[in-house]
Structure formats: C-alpha cells, structure tokens
Structure 1
C-alpha cells in the first residue's frame, strides 16, 4: 500500500499535497471551502481521515466531476459560489482561474457602468459601508502629534 502513495495529487488543474487529509486537501483548491469539502466527502463516501495521497484515480475523477457539476450530485444551491449568474442566470460553482476571471469581469462591469461599488473600487476606498474616518488611510499618517518638553 505504501507504493500507491502519491505526494502530489492533481485535482482540477491544481496540485494538492498528498500528505493532507482529504477534507483539508480539497480546501487548497480556490473556490472550495471546508463546508463544500465536507459535503464532497459525504456525497462520494470518502473517508475524511484518509490522506489524499492514497485515493485512487477513479475517486479523483469523481471529485473532479463533482467540482465541474455539483448540482448533478445534489449539492444544495446555497453552497455554490455563483448563484444566479449575471450572464446566464444559472447557479454555478467556479474554481481556480474561472473564478478569478469572472470576479475581474464583474469588477470591470461595475466600473464601466459607474455604479457606486465600481467607483469605490476604482478609487480604492471601502465598498461595503465601512467607516473611513479612522481606517483605510494609505498615505501619510494624520493625527495629533504630541509635543515634547
């Protein structure tokens, strides 16, 4: 069984450390969090305590297939990271470079339409209503200087 161990496992265009447990190793893939990783293990019947280096090629192919289309395996739609997509209106789950590209496209669309969030992103200010009086100061420090006696 020791000769079946793989130190690097390639899952969905990402090299994953084979010494980690399956549940933790899947979280190395961008777009897969701990809750989705746990649901993948439960859905496919994988042992979460086993190291991912010992998994067979068939199990890895099942994991990749589930990451491609999680709705087919009855993963609930609230676990997906792109519900009600802007262009298609479908519920999607994106990983790795696809996730980066769509986030960049979303930001560019907001900037192009000159929405509030887009303008805040352009200037580099907080987008979600945080206060700016005391935080988000990037240039010179503004404050009270103590006089020395």
Structure 2
C-alpha cells in the first residue's frame, strides 16, 4: 500500500487513475502532473520511488482539491442565491441552471442540484 496525500492506494493501481480519484483532478490535470514528474502514463503506484511519492503529495497539498474545492463551489452557489440571480434561484429550486430542457428531462438536474451541490430544493430569499 502506498500513501498519496493521506489516502491508501493499492500498489497495482495506475497512477493516473489514483490521481483522478481526488475531487477536482480530471484527466488533463492528472496528465499534466504526471508529465511534470516524468511518470509514464501506464505506471503503477507500486513502481514509484519514495521521493516521487513525496513530490506528488507536496504538489497535491499546494492545489485546491477535495474539501477546499467543495467548499468553494458551495460558497459560489450560496453567493448566487443571496444575490437573487437567475442561476441562484434555479439552484435553490433544484432546476437545471444552464438552459437545459425541463419539459421532459429534468430528473438528472434535480438529482445533481440537491445532492452534489448542496441545494435544499427551496427558494431562500
């Protein structure tokens, strides 16, 4: 088992997939991090040297990921609600925010607005 940024990873898992498991790191960012530390795209976590693991952990600690990023997203949505903007009202009602169709396909947006982004489903003014 290898610890990266305080999380235990199996030695047989890919470095790219392990990095993408963090909230806020996608394919492009993980590819950029791996290129910075000269890690092969198909490298396994178990093959990394200790210094490389420490450098990865230091790099991740400098980035805004996981709880910090979640808090920032929730603060941005709360700010939109407090201003009373159109997007804030849509978030508060649990409706699609970016102009999607609401006549038939609304269930996904309702689910995302309530769970992931911390919506309450009510208008707060």
When the two structures are aligned, how many residues end up with a matched partner? 108
Q: Deviations over 1:22-60 (max 9, x none)?
A: 122211111111111111111111123221023222111
Distance 1:106 1:15 in 2: 31
- Give the secondary-structure state (helix, strand or coil) at the position aligned to 1:61: helix
- Give the secondary-structure state (helix, strand or coil) at the position aligned to 1:101: helix
Greater share of helix: 2
2:16 to 17, 20, 23: 23
Q: Which runs of 5+ in 1 are unaligned?
A: 1-5, 70-92, 139-149
100-109 vs 41-50, which moves further = 41-50
> Which of 1 and 2 has higher RCO (CA within 8 Å, sep 6+)?
2
**What is the aligned-residue RMSD (CA, Å)?**
1.9
How much has 1:94 moved relative to structure 2?
A: 1.8
Question: Corresponding residue for 1:32?
Answer: 25
Question: Corresponding residue for 1:132?
Answer: 102
Q: Which runs of 5+ in 2 are unaligned?
A: 111-125
